[in-house]
Structure 1
Amino acid sequence: MAVYTEVSDEELAAFLKTYDVGTVLSYKGIAEGVENTNYFLHTTGGNFILTLYEKRVKEGDLPFFLDLMRHLAQRGLNCPLPVTNRTGEALGRLGGRPAAIVTFLEGVAVRRPTARHCEALGRALARLHIAGQNFPQIRANALSLESWEPLFALAESQADRVAPGLAARTRKELAFLGQVWPSGLPSGIIHADLFTDNVFFIGAEVSGLIDFYFACTDAFAYDIAICLNAWCFETDGSFNVTKGGAMLAGYQSVRPLTSAEREALPVLCRGSALRFMLTRLVDWLNVPPGALVKPKDPLEYDRKLAFHRHVTSASDYGLA
């Protein structure tokens, strides 16, 4: 369970006194996710999500994330809306951590998405990119190319304990991507972490996008690459080109890709796979003592990288 900080009944009651959300009826930790502590909060005023921010989320970045969610929600994107306290602030402190309450979204996350889910996700991702285009704030991607070498330095000496040859493969990949990483692509606000547990569905339609705490300013096509990695591989490690094609078709039905974005997609897929392999590897080797969390397998993304190395064009992902 992704609960790093336990909250007592007394602490929670005192925290909620500063909000107009009613009194607590129940609350419980949410198992999904590995970055922050999340609770489902049921009060006399409704259902909410309470988040205590941990690990990589810098407190100074939190106003950006909360302002962004408000901006997107006001432009019709189904995402959580931050709840302000009685002094008009969306950010407080609980259990020694920065904390916020956001509205609860209906729907369920799908663990084994179909092509229809992938197509709907593509449309939702494009709508997010368009809705964020006039957001006035900028936040650099703290987990892009420049961060991968320092991340690997934290794990290189132990990488081969996780899998033989992992250190050498990663070192070679870092060198390659450093030479070919694209620039000048259409950019703006991206989600940067849109895994299946961050998208809710009612039927086959997207009912909400959540967890914007890696959102940043970067290439739109990089966000697509993250989603191709997260949504279109099967449990046996094979890439499902039908799902990839559906996702890309859904995206392009709202926002067509440029020729430069199409050409860059294979490299971006390699980069996004390396990014998640590295952060998972660091987490795998550094589980906080006493944390009720199971780190995610970094080798899943090492295997995805092996697939991407043989891709020759975006058509291999199903792009028409």
Structure 2
Amino acid sequence: MAVFTDVSEAEIASFLAGYGLPAPDAVTGIAEGTENTNYKVMAGGRRFILTLYEARVNVADLPYFLSLMDEVAGAGLPAARPIRTLKGERLQAIAGRPAALIEFLPGRPNMDPSPRDAETAGSFLARFHRTTAHSSLHRPNTMGMTSWREMTARAGDALDRFGEGVRTELAETLKLLARFWPVGLPKGPIHADLFPDNLLLDHGEVSGIIDFYFACTDFFAYDLAITMNAYTPETGALDLTNAEAVLSGYDETYKLTDAERSALPVLLCGSALRFFLTRATDNIFAPESTLYTPKDPLPWLRLMRHHRARLEDEL
């Protein structure tokens, strides 16, 4: 979430009218995130999130994202649900951008999660996968290995600003991943971005899962690897306690197969590489926005190196 497109209150009032809602009582830009423009909106005594989808999001993918949010919420999980207009539409336009009005969910993210919080996240992710395993929705993973190669090529020598020889190191890691990437694991719609800021908690229990805009069809174990890495603290000495807690919570709820467990080292390495590359390219090609601050990619480079060393030890 972030603010890349400015929207006036008059534009928002016109937009809300399509939902039968009055003019907004309050509108606040949300600075966090890297993909879309987001505002908190108060209208008619209710709270909403207004999301404008920026150029980086493929408009053709939006029906998938919004349908998945609807499907997960309809299955009884606390997912942010898109609100429909008076005409039954989930997608409109505002300020030249496609946009949706999203249900506001209670709770807050815990940005310093404890092992117990991490275990809760793992258990919830397992419940999410048990739900999506029966879904007919499908979208290819556009942030898979092909995109990793493309991002590496696009950034080129600028990657070496993050350390001498990083570009070469990434090329070697990509070759290793391509050699050992698994096939045939259980798959279905995955969230693909379950960081602590995308899981809302209320009194220690999950009250909402948000930000579905990397969701796609891929291995459930890859989604687990992303979450294990996402819950690994980025500062201080490398500490995998939370990652192990995510795994424990997941495995107790949705038992991993032997093949999934064996594939975790390569999936962990791949997901760390993926988030290093997106953060690195966000830094290299940062858009001009006063409310946008690129995130530090170096913790993910450290994590990638750790998982690569573990993977090589097991070969």
TM-score for the superposition, normalised by structure 1: 0.94
Q: Structure 1 stretch 5-14 or stretch 286-295: which is displaced more?
A: 286-295
Could you say which residue in structure 2 is the equivalent of 1:254?
253
1:140 equivalent in alignment to 2:124 = no
Paired with 1:204 and 1:26, the residues of 2 have a C-alpha distance of 29
Specify the SS of the correspondent of 1:309: helix
**What does 1:23-172 align with in structure 2 at a 5 Å threshold?**
23-172=23-172
Deviation of the 1:246 alpha carbon:
2.0
Please state how far the C-alpha of 1:234 moved relative to its aligned partner. Answer: 4.9
CA distance in 2, matches of 1:158, 1:42: 43
Partner Cα distance (2:177, 2:290) in 1: 34
C-alpha contact 1:225 1:268 (8 A) present in aligned 2: yes
Check whether the contact 1:21–1:46 (CA below 8 A) recurs between aligned residues: no
Q: What per-residue deviation string (whole Å, max 9, x for no partner) do you get for residues 249-281 of structure 1? A: 211221100000000001000000011111111
2:295 alignment partner in structure 1: 296
Matched residue SS, 2:142: coil
Q: CA deviation at 1:237?
A: 4.4
* TM-score, scaled to structure 2: 0.95
Structure 1 unmatched ranges of 5 or more: 316-320
| Deviation of the 1:6 alpha carbon | 0.7
Q: Which residue of 2 aligns with 1:318?
A: none
CA contact (8 A) 1:59 1:98 kept: yes
CA distance in 2: counterparts of 1:59 and 1:158, whole angstroms: 30
Instruction: Report the CA distance between 1:232 and its aligned residue.
Output: 2.3
Distance in 1 separating the partners of 2:161 and 2:137: 42
Mapped contact 1:234–1:240 kept (Cα < 8 A): no
Distance change >3 Å, CA 311–CA 55, structure 1 → 2: farther
C-alpha RMSD of matched pairs (Å)? 1.7
Structure 1 residue matching 2:200: 3-state secondary structure: strand
The alignment partner of 1:311 has SS state of helix
Aligned partner of 2:17: which letter? K
1:305 aligns with 2:304: yes
Name 2:185's counterpart in structure 1: 185
For residues 228 and 237 of structure 1, the distance between their equivalents in structure 2, rounded to whole angstroms, comes to 16
- Structure 1's 174 and 312: CA in aligned 2 closer, same or farther, altered over 3 A? closer
Shift of 1:312: 5.2
Could you list the per-position Cα deviations for residues 160-197 of structure 1 after superposition, in whole angstroms to 9, with x for gaps in the alignment?
12322211111111111111111111101100001111
Tell me, what secondary structure is at the counterpart of 1:90?
A: coil
Q: Report the number of matched residues.
A: 314
Query: Take 1:139 and 1:210, find their aligned partners in 2: how far apart are those partners?
Result: 18
* Equivalent AA in structure 2 for residue 120 of structure 1: T
* Contact 2:9 2:24 (8 Å CA) reproduced: no
- The aligned residue for residue 286 of structure 1 is 285
* Percent of aligned pairs with the same amino acid: 46
Determine the C-alpha separation between the residues in 1 that align with 2:153 and 2:175: 14
Cα deviation, residue 245, structure 1: 2.6
Q: Report the Cα distance in structure 2 between the residues aligned to 1:101 and 1:165, rounded to whole angstroms.
A: 45
Q: Is contact 2:106-2:200 (8 Å) kept?
A: yes
- 1:59 Cα deviation (Å)? 0.3
Q: Which stretches in structure 2 are left out of the alignment for 5+ residues?
A: none
